[in-house]
Amino acid sequence: MMGMILSGEVTSALTTFAGLGLALILEGDGAERVRLGWTDAAEPQMVVTADGYDDEAIAVAVHEHATARAVSGSWIDCNLQVAPWNGNSALFSPRVKAPQSLPQWRSLQTERLQRIDHEVEDKEQLKRDIDLELIGALGEPAYWRFANNGPRPDEGANRWEMKTRNRGEDFIRNRLRQLAQIVADRDASAIASGLSGQSVKDEAYKGKRSDESRTATGLTSPRFTDSALAWCALWGISSFPVIHRLMGASVTAGAVPIGKFTPMHLVLPVLVGAHTLGRWQAVVVSEQVIQAATSRESAAAARSACAWLAAHGARATLTFHVNVSDNPNAPERSLGAGRLEVLN
C-alpha cells in the first residue's frame, strides 16, 4: 500500500490535524482503505495511505478538493448579505458579529438552513459528504446562550477554530476561503512537496517574519506553515464535533476542562500503526482520552482509561496548553508543543 509521510513532529497538533483532514479528503475523493497513524520509531512520522494512491495521486485529490471549494457559489464562498454583516462575514463561520435583533437572528438561521438543505440535496448520492461534516463540527453562533452580561453567541463555536477576530475577520472568509484558492492555484507537485515537507510555501502570509505568520491558525505558535498542509489541518477540525448545551458553552471534543469556553488544554491520542479515520474519531471523542490525560484523583480510572486506549491502538496522549494573548478585544489562542505521555 502506497501513501504519504506528512511533514511535522508528533508533538505538533498541526500534524495530527493534517493527517485527520487529509484522510477525510481522501475518503471524500472515493478512496478505499484509507488509513492513518504514527510510525513506531524514535521520531514518529504521520503516514496516510489509501489503496492505489501514491504521493502524486494524494496531491491530485487535495488539489481537486480545494478547487471545487474555491469556485464562486460554494458554501465556503457564501456571505451573510443582510445587516449587520452586509456581505462582510461568511455564512458558516461560527464566530461572526452578533445579530442585534430577533429578525437578524432569524435571517441568519434561515440562510444557514437553506444552504445546508442545498448541500444535502446537491450531494445526496455521495457516500460521505465531508462538507457537512466540517460545517457541523465548526458549530454555529449560539442564539440560545445568554449570561448575566448578555448574549454569548461565540459559545456555540468549536474551540479549535482559533482564527483571531481582529478587525472583524472570521475563520471561513479570512482563512479557509483564502487557503482554498491558494491550494487550487498550485499544481499537484507543489502540493505534494508542501505536504511532505520538501518545501514550505506560506502564500497565506505576505510578510517576511516567520513568527508573525498565522497560517497555522492556532494549531501551532505563529510560524511559517505550508498552505497545503494548513488546508488539510483545518479540515481536521471535522473530527472534533461539538455538542450544544442550553446551560453552558458547547462541549468540543478534546477540550479540557469539558465545556469551558476558554479551555486550558487540548488532548489528542497518539495512535501507532495504520488505523481507519473512524477509529481515530472514536478515540478522539472518547472520555477515556480525557481521563488518561487528566485523571489525578483516581488511579483506577486512569488505568482503566489507558487500557481502553491501548486496546484501540493508542500508545500515548498529547496534552497541549492553550495559550491566550492578553488582548481583551480579540484574544488570540494558539498551541505550543504538546506534552507526550506514554500510556502505562
Mean pLDDT of 263-287: 96
pLDDT for 296 equals 64
Q: Tell whether the model's pLDDT for residue 130 goes beyond 70.
A: yes
Mean pLDDT of all residues in the chain?
A: 93
pLDDT for 124 equals 64
At 86, is the pLDDT very low, low, confident or very high (cuts 50, 70, 90)? confident
Of residues 166 and 1, more confidence is placed in 166
pLDDT for 265 equals 94
pLDDT tens-place string over residues 288-306: 999 988 876 577 878 899 9
> In terms of Cα–Cα distance, which of 179, 161, 152, 180 is closest to 94?
161
Q: Tell whether the model's pLDDT for residue 126 goes beyond 80.
A: no
DSSP 222: S
pLDDT tens-place string over residues 46-71: 999 999 999 999 999 999 999 999 99
Q: Tell whether the model's pLDDT for residue 76 goes beyond 70.
A: yes
Angle, to 10 degrees, between the axis of helix 287-294 and the axis of helix 299-311?
130
Task: Return the residue matching grid coordinates 520509531.
Answer: 41
* Chain centre to alpha carbon of residue 282: 16
C-alpha grid cell for residue 315? 500508545
Q: What percent of the chain has pLDDT over 70?
A: 97
DSSP 287: H
Q: Tell whether the model's pLDDT for residue 1 goes beyond 60.
A: no
pLDDT for 191 equals 98
What is the gyration radius of the CA atoms in the chain, in angstroms?
Answer: 19
Q: What is the DSSP string of 165-218?
A: -GGG--HIIIIIHHHHHHHHHS-HHHHHHHHHTS----TT--SS-GGG--TTTT
At 196, is the pLDDT very low, low, confident or very high (cuts 50, 70, 90)? very high
d(CA 134, CA 129): 9
C-alpha grid cell for residue 77? 464562498
Mean pLDDT of 193-207: 96
pLDDT for 329 equals 82
Strands (E), the chain: 3-5, 35-38, 46-49, 146-147, 150-151, 242-243, 251-252, 255-256, 265-271, 314-324, 333-335, 339-342
d(CA 35, CA 48): 6
pLDDT for 297 equals 58
d(CA 64, CA 62): 6
pLDDT for 133 equals 96
At 167, is the pLDDT very low, low, confident or very high (cuts 50, 70, 90)? confident
Q: Tell whether the model's pLDDT for residue 206 goes beyond 70.
A: yes
Q: Tell whether the model's pLDDT for residue 307 goes beyond 60.
A: yes
pLDDT for 2 equals 67
